[in-house]
Amino acid sequence: MSKDRDDIGSAGKSVALEQRDTGEDGRRYSPSVARNREPIAEVFARVMPLDGRVLEIASGTGEHGAWMTERFDALRWTYSDLDEMSRDSQRAWVQLAPSGERLTGPYTIDASADDWGKAEALAPLDGMFCANMIHIAPIEAAAGLLRGAGRLLRPGGKLFLYGPFARNGAIAGSNARFSENLKRRDPAWGVRDLDRELMPLAVAAGLELETVVDMPSNNSSVIFRRA
């Protein structure tokens, strides 16, 4: 495997804060996905639709979609990303994953936009998934993601967010240090407050908070439901 590092760059662009390996077949591998995919899948099995179409925003290496569709044999998963290197990896997973016939995309989606181009035709979606994106993008990306969920999900459809969050001004020490580090890289980045920052945006988009599940390493799985 060769070792690549994603660029830390333009606002709203998909980025990574870890070293990722690229196999000879073009599929990329993330250490953080290897650590968190099983806990995420366990929550996903309890709270998300398992026999419909899920659109992933900022799909990164593509491993989550390959893992989920291999585990849930009626699930259909669509990749998206702004980052070309990530989309190349996602295409490789579509071609080579055992569940590749239920993987589609990738679409090029700027989450902050009010029109996601060809992906708009995927509506109505049963679910959307986004892991570790909103803290390494401007708040406009989170706002656009929530608007997109309100626009493309069917009534009762679910949005699954995974990552670090603050709650009503309270934040775990490790997340506070992480947030400060992010802000030094880009002042527009940072761990978001679920109650103070994201909930008003979700309500405006027609979403209701269904549940918050504590995850390892002070992360959370946050589930919104379209009213």
CA distances from 181 to 92, 175, 178, 185, 191 (A): 32, 10, 5, 7, 10
Torsion on CA atoms 93, 105, 38, 220, rounded to nearest 10 = 140
pTM: 0.91
pLDDT the model gives residue 19 = 62
The mean pLDDT value for 13-25 works out to 64
Confidence of residue 4 (pLDDT cuts 50, 70, 90): very low
Beta bridge partners of 128: 55, 159
Say which CATH superfamily domain 28-226 falls into.
Answer: Vaccinia Virus protein VP39 (3.40.50.150)
The pLDDT tens digits of the residues spanning 48-96 come to 999 999 999 999 999 999 999 999 999 999 999 999 999 999 999 999 9
Contact 48, 54 (CB under 8 A): yes
**Mean pLDDT value across the chain:** 92
pLDDT the model gives residue 10 = 37
Contact 103, 95 (CB under 8 A): no
Instruction: Please tell me the number of Cα atoms within 13 Å of 121 on its side-chain side.
Output: 4
**Burial per residue of 123-139, b for 16 or more beta-carbon CB atoms within 10 angstroms, e otherwise:** eebbbbbbbbbbbbbbb
Domain ranges of the chain: 28-226
pLDDT the model gives residue 20 = 61
- Those residues whose C-beta lies under 8 Å from the C-beta of residue 90, and which sit 6 or more positions away, are 59, 61, 62, 65, 79, 81, 105, 106
